[in-house]
Amino acid sequence: MPHAPTLQSFIAGRWIGQHGAQVLRSALDGHELARTHEERPDFAEAVEHGRRAGNAALMALDFQQRAQRLKALALYLSERKEQLYALSHHSGATRADSWIDIEGGNSTLFTYASLGARELPSGNIVHEGPALQLSKLGSFAGTHILVPRGGLAVHINAFNFPIWGMLEKFAPCFLAGMPCIVKPASATSYLTEAVVRLMDESGLLPSGSLQLVIGSTGDLLDRLEGQDVVTFTGSADTAAKLRVNPNLIRHSVPFNAEADSLNCAILAPDVTPDDEEFELFIKEVAREMTTKAGQKCTAIRRAIVPAKHIDAVASRLRESLAKVVVGDPSVEGVRMGALASHDQQRDVAERVASLLHSSDLLFGARDGFEPRGENVSQGAFFAPTLLLARDPHAAGAHDIEAFGPVSTLMAYDDLDEALALAARGKGSLVGSLVTRDPQIAAKAIPVAAAWHGRLLVLDRECAGESTGHGSPLPQLKHGGPGRAGGGEELGGLRAVKHYLQRAAVQGSPSMLAAVTGEYVRGAKVIETEVHPFRRFFQDLQIGESLLTHRRTVTEADLVNFGCLSGDHFYMHFDEIAAKESQFGKRIAHGYFVLSAAAGLFVSPAPGPVLANYGLDTLRFINPVGIGDTIQARLTCKRKIDQGKLSPQGIPQGVVAWDVEVTNQLGELVASYDILTLVVKREG
């Protein structure tokens, strides 16, 4: 009988591995599914290829272009997702479980593609301003920039989400312009290999931007240097071992860990069994126990409940768990599949046995556990298991994690005790508070936040749209303190910045403008006879500027603007009250100043500027009174080429303009950026 296929590593642009080694079995019936390869990758070649070819290819693109590649890659994978679902089935995952892994991973690609297009510049420098004046006359200033590190990232991933776990690290890393080497957990590496093959076949990956290691990392970590980065997802014990690698310490290599943690859900003391929130708590705990067969780093391991309701909670959870049908996900009616491997099955059984030294079994295999499907006796199935801590303050559930469909109930007497129990987890990725009372949330969340990376406050108001306790979102931070690893992933641009190097830069405003690619206040401006709004996107220069004519503000301006806007605030119309204010006089509406400035700098005839679609950093610095004369300076601050077309198919880019409005004394009265869509010149 022929062996199962041998998985291959993707190193230096080629697939290697011909001879089978470790057998990987289906979690459903134990048949041989694939094998890792016997050949040892040349990690020196892998590192060299990433640093040289990978960095060169990624730097040939800018942030905007890499964002476009991510979007195209997400579309490519979306069109081929069914083959991934078919393979994911063997990991014991239901269709809903696989959805989290496959669609969740793809959604992360889409999210970072959109984030990059909206938030990052053209080019490969992020100006993390604003620039700061460091001298009296303003000729010496400082700011911060973020640039690609020039090294490579090693991503070591867990077995539970072989697709999402890889893509949620790859997306911000790729966007940041950093090549990566991915090392999935062997048990489900057949899924990661399948996705990397698709990504390679897409032709969208620049050479060296992504490499894959099947099997051991060998001496890979020993070859890293200070410009490199390591990210890890897995057990806290493994994270602790990798973190102290002598070479990583010697070269101060950043190490980001996201480790399994003893996450909790707290049922607040205000909730009774008759409340809708009580049922929300039951559903959340049961769902976190059974989704992905409890194999989630964010799963609820400790359910902390008022002592007066512990019996009611236990009864409702037993009822809910008794309805869960376990077995082969292809069998109709099955809601929970197998653990990812037989090794995992043995590990969970051992840890449940340890937990039973300090807990009582409320629900488990004795309660009618009978997986459905053919040959399931050879599968890695495990019964949903609910425990009750005999002493909620004792060790046990606060120290031992069974990484499967296992959760422990704990009773508390008051909210302070509940929060103390939550903190006994020594640092968690996520915690949930189910309450009806905003005052309880206001008291509990700041205390719990010291021990948690993310917190969900669940009530009937948000329940209909809540993504739930266990769902990390790319827009929000994923990670936690202490046992949870002390790292951060996702969180929007925060994840991209993890792969960039921050540097402070000092010099004249003109030099800072040259370095950052953005106009910096105080830098030399470019003034020509052509109004900047008459320039096409390609022709417009950073620093191109217009100093407008002047306008004197009259009482009629205030009256007319008040009638038009409906804003009759006393500072604009009550002479006596205005004199008694800190300004000592009537002042113009701030938004009148904004509107009047636009009237000063706008070029009214049709031209390349299509629309103003935003305004940032608005500040009203000094008041404008009746009789004051204002003037505006409009300067091209930043250009972003998103590669987009208007609805009419016209190529266009985004231009940010710096606006300074001053009075007759030269004092700044208003400051802001406006964002416009500007047509590209043909040809």
Pairing of strands 477-478, 359-363: unpaired
Rounded CA Rg of the chain = 30
When pLDDT is averaged across residues 43-70 and rounded to a whole number, the result is 95
Is the CA virtual torsion 488, 492, 498, 503 positive or negative?
negative
361-379 pLDDT per residue, tens: 999 999 989 999 888 888 9
Is 70 exceeded by the pLDDT of residue 122? yes
* Structure confidence at residue 1 as a pLDDT band (50, 70, 90): very low
Predicted local distance difference test score (pLDDT) of residue 213 = 95
pLDDT for residue 614: 85
Is residue 3 very low, low, confident or very high in pLDDT (cuts 50, 70, 90)?
low
Please state, in angstroms and rounded to a whole number, the distance separating the CA atoms of residues 95 and 102: 10
pLDDT band at 2 (very low <50, low <70, confident <90, very high): low
Q: What percentage of the chain exceeds 90 in pLDDT? A: 68
d(CA 209, CA 59): 10
State whether residue 208 is helix, strand or coil: coil
pTM value? 0.88
d(CA 146, CA 127): 7
Mean pLDDT on 311-339: 93
CB 472 within 8 A of CB 298: yes
C-alpha separations of 395 from 360, 421, 576 in Å: 14, 11, 70
Task: Give the model's pLDDT for residue 649.
Answer: 80
What one-character-per-residue DSSP string does 436-487 give? S-HHHHHHHHHHHHTTEEEEEEE-HHHHTT---TT---TTSEE--SGGG-S-
Tens-place pLDDT, residues 446-475: 999 999 999 999 999 899 989 989 888 888
Lowest mean pLDDT among 21-35, 377-391, 409-423: 21-35
Half-sphere exposure of 48 (CA within 13 A, CB side): 5
Residue-range domain boundaries for the chain: 9-130+145-259, 263-472, 525-679
Of the listed ranges 190-199, 421-430, 538-547, 605-614, the least confidently predicted one is 605-614
Catalytically active residues, by annotation: 258, 297
Task: Answer yes or no: are the C-beta atoms of 588 and 622 closer than 8 Å.
Answer: no
- State pLDDT tens for residues 135-169: 988 899 999 999 999 999 999 999 888 999 999 99
Q: Which of 143, 155, 211 is nearest to 184 (CA)?
A: 155
Residue located via tokens 């995952």: 93
Band of the pLDDT at 683, cuts 50, 70, 90?
low
The residue-averaged pLDDT of 330-343 equals 90
- CATH architecture classification, 525-679: Roll (3.10)
The whole-angstrom separation of Cα 477 and Cα 153 is 19
Segment 643-661, tens digit of pLDDT: 777 777 888 888 999 999 9
Whether 518 shows a pLDDT value over 50: the answer reads yes
Residues 6+ apart with CB under 8 A from 139: 508, 509, 522
Residues 205-256: pLDDT tens digits?
Answer: 999 999 999 998 899 999 999 999 999 998 888 888 998 999 999 999 999 9
List own/partner pairs for 435-439 with CB under 8 A and 24 or more apart.
435/268, 435/270, 435/271, 435/277, 435/459, 436/268, 436/270, 436/271, 436/275, 436/277, 436/460, 437/268, 437/270
Phi-psi region of 576 (alpha: psi -120 to 50; beta: other; left: phi over 0): alpha
Separation of alpha carbons 200 and 207, rounded Å: 10
CA distance 271 to 586: 53
SS3 at position 660 = strand
Could you give the CA distance from residue 84 to residue 70 in angstroms, rounded to a whole number?
Answer: 19
Stretch 518-523: mean pLDDT: 90
- Give the pLDDT confidence of 129-144 residue by residue, as tens digits: 889 999 988 899 999 9
Determine the Cα–Cα distance for residues 2 and 6; give it in Å rounded to an integer.
11
Cα 463 from Cα 201, distance rounded (Å): 41
Q: Where do we find the tokens 């206040």?
A: 521
Architecture of domain 263-472: 3-Layer(aba) Sandwich (3.40)
pLDDT at 252: 94
- pLDDT band, residue 578 (cuts 50/70/90): confident
- The mean pLDDT value for 430-457 works out to 95
Q: What is the mean pLDDT of the chain?
A: 92
Q: How confident is the model at residue 61 (pLDDT cuts 50, 70, 90)?
A: very high
pLDDT for position 290: 94
Fold of 9-130+145-259: Aldehyde Dehydrogenase; Chain A, domain 1 (3.40.605)
Top-confidence range, 305-319, 390-404, 556-570: 305-319
Cβ-based burial of 622 (10 A; exposed 0-12, middle 13-18, buried ≥19): middle
Task: Write the burial class of residue 438 (CB in 10 Å: 0-12 exposed, 13-18 middle, 19+ buried).
Answer: exposed
The separation between CA 236 and the C-alpha centre of its own chain, rounded to angstroms, equals 21
